[in-house]
Amino acid sequence: GQNIDQPTEMTATEGAIVQINCTYQTSGFNGLFWYQQHAGEAPTFLSYNVLDGLEEKGRFSSFLSRSKGYSYLLLKELQMKDSASYLCAVRDRDYKLSFGAGTTVTVRA
């Protein structure tokens, strides 16, 4: 199985930048995913990293270091609608995902 850690909560101001860290210990790493989940709704896919480095997608970027077992999700130009839970998930070679507990981000005006 996987052991995945991420902070429980983060608060930031509208227009600011927030970085959500995720560390993992894994057997059979086959990719890392970030999902966004609004309360009571399904998770929606944000980003995927399988090689080391930065992947940029509009206001969202994700970074991976496989040797350090570390990833982060960077949210830029925060908007009120970005208030949500952000889930870090690691995939194994059987295509199963293991999720962290999620980081609740609150964006203040």
Partner 1 sequence: DGGITQSPKYLFRKEGQNVTLSCEQNLNHDAMYWYRQDPGQGLRLIYYSQIVNDFQKGDIAEGYSVSREKKESFPLTVTSAQKNPTAFYLCASSTLQDYNEQFFGPGTRLTVL
Q: Do the Cβ atoms of 69 and 25 come closer than 8 Å? A: yes
CA dihedral 104, 37, 75, 7 (to 10 degrees): 30
The rounded distance, in Å, linking the Cα atoms of 57 and 47 is: 8
User: Which of 7, 30, 60, 74 contacts partner 1 by CB under 8 A?
Assistant: 30
Strand pairing category for 97-99 and 103-108: unpaired
Binding mask 45-64 for partner 1 (x = CB under 8 A): x--x-x--------------
* Binding of partner 1 by 101 (CB under 8 A): yes
Is 22 exposed, middle or buried (CB count within 10 Å of its CB: 0-12, 13-18, 19+)? buried
* Binding of partner 1 by 98 (CB under 8 A): yes
Looking at 13-21, 39-47, 51-59, 60-68, which segment touches partner 1 (CB under 8 A)? 39-47
Residue placing its CB nearer to partner 1 in the complex, 33 or 72? 33
List residues binding partner 1 (CB under 8 A).
1, 4, 8, 30-31, 33, 40-45, 48, 50, 87, 89, 95-102
